[in-house]
């Protein structure tokens, strides 16, 4: 109820469309303008799997901010937090859209070209025809390629450009009117090095294990769902600031398969060694070796959903498994929920539904 009141306070024109809180429709307001929006949440209310539908006008305004909004969907704890973030991004987008129409003085162009000359054109990946958007490229000490997008307003260099980066943490630029693009670039390089250990840890996981989700992780993604065995996996949440510390771990699979893993994790937690890699620590704590990309195919341990017969459903892999050891069939949560809702023998208690396995009837 408190969440509903908070949502009403921040977005009074966005109203729930069902009693489960999985559908919202209405308007989001920014700079005195209302934009139609519809938000559809899965039954588990996980924002990362939400679907957002909006008017073509809003879609056009937010086109360049899709990556940021997707990142916010994964990181925000609830719908209220996301809507606050969405309104902030929308305010920036509207400001930049209006700013593009403001005629720029000759000093703006001469200053920008001078700054690009000083920085070096070899560091420039893209410049739009209006000289309002600049993308700079950089390579970190491990050879990873990165981009920073700068959206400059008409008052540059008195005001700093908006900086968009693919980072798991906020990137705030320190700026004075006498600064130039090279100052932003140096701060960008420093931020890249501060995240080196985080990306090293996840690159090792991506290269040596089978990551089920996300399928194509961005540099800002902090979670990995790693395959352990047949329909058994662990979802880890890595802290970008402390990547060598024990991450949050959530096991997915049948109880008989994941309960021993939980026990090993709890019993061996004291053995965690921040001096060795995150992957090696996970191997030792769980007393298991993860399926290798070199010797196994994904199909060896990743089965399709037993209801829709697909592996991916709106980007998600099957994450619910029948607890009967003789069955172990995986399902997408949304498929299973819809299936059980349609059975006359199923019963529901609050947000938990009980029923028979579609495969083995247990």
Whether 311 and 296 map to the same domain: the answer is no
Is residue 129 domain-shared with residue 186, that is, in the same domain? yes
End position of a domain, from candidates 195, 222, 253? 195
Mapped onto helix, strand or coil, the DSSP state of residue 81 is: helix
Q: What angle do CA 194, 178, 128 make, to 5 degrees?
A: 75
Q: Give yes or no for residue 76 having a pLDDT over 80.
A: yes
Q: Does one domain contain both 46 and 17?
A: yes
Pair 294, 321 in one domain: no
pLDDT exceeds cutoff 80 at 304: no
25 with 49, same domain: the answer is: yes
What separation in angstroms does the CA of 31 have from each of 8, 49, 61?
A: 18, 29, 13
User: Which stretches of the chain are assigned E, i.e. beta strand?
Assistant: 14-16, 23-30, 33-40, 51-54, 124-127, 133-139, 145-151, 162-165, 211-213, 223-229, 232-237, 248-252, 320-321, 330-331, 347-349, 352-354
Tens of pLDDT, residue by residue over 318-336, are: 878 887 777 778 888 888 8
Collapsed DSSP state (helix, strand, coil) of residue 78: coil
Can you tell me the distance from the alpha carbon of 300 to that of 21, in angstroms, rounded to the nearest whole number?
38
DSSP 285: H
Q: Is residue 283 part of a domain?
A: yes
Q: For residues 72, 73, 78 and 84, what is the CA-based torsion angle, rounded to 10 degrees?
A: 50
Residue 313 lies in a domain: yes
Residues 288 and 333 in one domain: no
Residue 313 DSSP class: B
Assigned domain for 203 exists: no
Contact 206, 198 (CB under 8 A): no
pLDDT recorded at residue 101: 60
- Rounded to whole angstroms, the Cα distance separating 224 from 237 reads 7
- Give a yes or no: residue 138 inside a domain: yes
Q: What's the pLDDT at 341?
A: 83
201 assigned to some structural domain: no
Rounded Cα gap, residues 331 and 343, in angstroms: 16
CA-CA distance, 219 to 167, in Å (whole number)? Answer: 6
Residue after which a domain boundary falls, among 151, 170, 195: 195
Residue 116 — pLDDT band, cuts 50, 70, 90?
Answer: very high
> Cβ-count burial of 283 within 10 angstroms (0-12 exposed, 13-18 middle, 19+ buried)?
middle
Give yes or no for a contact between 188 and 175, defined as CB atoms under 8 angstroms apart: no
CATH number assigned to the domain comprising residue 295: 3.10.110.20
Please state the domain count of the chain: 4
Tell me the CATH number at 89: 3.10.110
Which alpha helices (H) appear in 11-78, and where do they start and end?
A: 56-61, 66-75
Nearest to 131 by CA among 153, 163, 160: 153
Q: Kindly report the CATH number assigned to the domain that includes residue 138.
A: 3.10.110.10
- pLDDT confidence band for 3 (50 / 70 / 90): low
The pLDDT assigned to 297 comes to: 66
**What is the pLDDT, as a whole number, of residue 331?**
82
pTM of the predicted structure, to 2 decimals:
0.63
Give the residue with greater pLDDT, 362 vs 279: 279
Assess whether 289 and 246 both reside in one domain: yes
Same domain, 25 and 84: yes
| Residue where a domain stops, chosen among 142, 165, 195 | 195
Residue 204 resides in a domain: no
Which percentage of the chain shows pLDDT scores above 90? Answer: 38
Q: Please indicate, yes or no, if residue 247 is contained in any of the structural domains.
A: yes
- Check residue 249 and give its pLDDT: 93
What DSSP string describes 86-97?
A: HHHHHHHHHHHH
Q: What is the mean pLDDT of residues 277-302?
A: 82
- Would you say 82 and 73 are in contact if contact means Cβ atoms under 8 Å apart? yes
Are 278 and 349 part of one and the same domain? no
Greatest mean pLDDT among 6-15, 67-76, 147-156, 196-205: 196-205
Residue 163 three-state SS: strand
Asked if 236 and 185 sit in the same domain, the reply is no
185: in domain: yes
Q: Which backbone phi and psi does 46 adopt, to 5 degrees?
A: -75, 120
Give the per-residue pLDDT at 296: 66
Residue 336's CATH number:
3.30.40.10
Residue 70: give the domain boundaries: 1-100
Contact 240, 168 (CB under 8 A): yes
Q: In the predicted model, what is the mean pLDDT of the chain?
A: 86
- DSSP track, 82-141: HHHHHHHHHHHHHHHHHHHTSPPPHHHHHHHHHHHHHH-GGGEEEE-TTS-EEEEEEE-T
262/335 same-domain check: no
Looking at the fold, whether 284 and 311 belong to one and the same domain comes out as no
């Amino acid at each position: 109820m408190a969440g509903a009141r908070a949502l009403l306070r921040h977005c009074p024109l966005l109203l729930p469309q069902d009693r489960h809180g999985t559908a919202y429709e209405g308007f989001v307001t920014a700079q005195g303008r209302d934009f139609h929006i519809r938000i559809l949440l899965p039954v588990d209310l996980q924002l990362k799997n939400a679907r957002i539908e909006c008017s073509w006008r809003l879609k056009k305004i937010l086109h360049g901010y899709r990556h940021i909004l997707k990142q916010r969907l994964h990181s925000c704890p609830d719908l209220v937090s996301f809507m606050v973030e969405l309104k902030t991004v929308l305010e920036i987008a509207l400001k930049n859209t209006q700013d593009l129409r403001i005629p720029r003085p000759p000093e703006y162009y001469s200053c920008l070209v001078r700054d690009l000359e000083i920085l070096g054109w070899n560091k420039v990946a893209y410049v739009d025809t209006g000289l309002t958007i600049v993308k700079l490229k950089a390579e970190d000490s491990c050879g990873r390629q990165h981009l920073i997008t700068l959206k400059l307003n008409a008052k540059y260099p008195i005001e700093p450009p908006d900086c968009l980066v693919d980072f798991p943490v906020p990137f705030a630029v320190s700026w004075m009117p006498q600064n130039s693009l090279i100052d932003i670039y140096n701060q960008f390089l420093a931020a890249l090095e501060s995240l080196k250990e985080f990306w090293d840890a996840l690159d090792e996981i991506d290269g040596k294990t089978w990551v089920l989700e996300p399928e194509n992780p961005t540099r800002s993604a902090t979670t990995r769902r790693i395959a352990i065995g047949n329909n058994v996996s662990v979802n880890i949440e890595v802290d970008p600031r402390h990547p060598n510390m024990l991450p949050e771990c959530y096991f997915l699979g049948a109880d008989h398969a994941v309960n021993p893993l939980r026990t090993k994790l709890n019993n061996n937690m004291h053995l965690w060694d921040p001096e060795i890699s995150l992957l090696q620590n996970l191997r030792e704590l769980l007393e298991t070796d993860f399926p290798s990309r070199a010797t196994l195919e994904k199909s060896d341990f990743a089965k399709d959903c037993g209801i829709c017969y697909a592996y991916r459903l709106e980007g998600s892999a099957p994450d619910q498994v029948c607890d009967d050891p003789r069955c172990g069939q995986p399902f997408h949560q949304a498929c299973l929920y819809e299936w059980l809702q349609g059975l006359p023998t199923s019963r529901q208690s609050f947000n938990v539904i009980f029923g028979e396995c579609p495969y083995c009837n247990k």
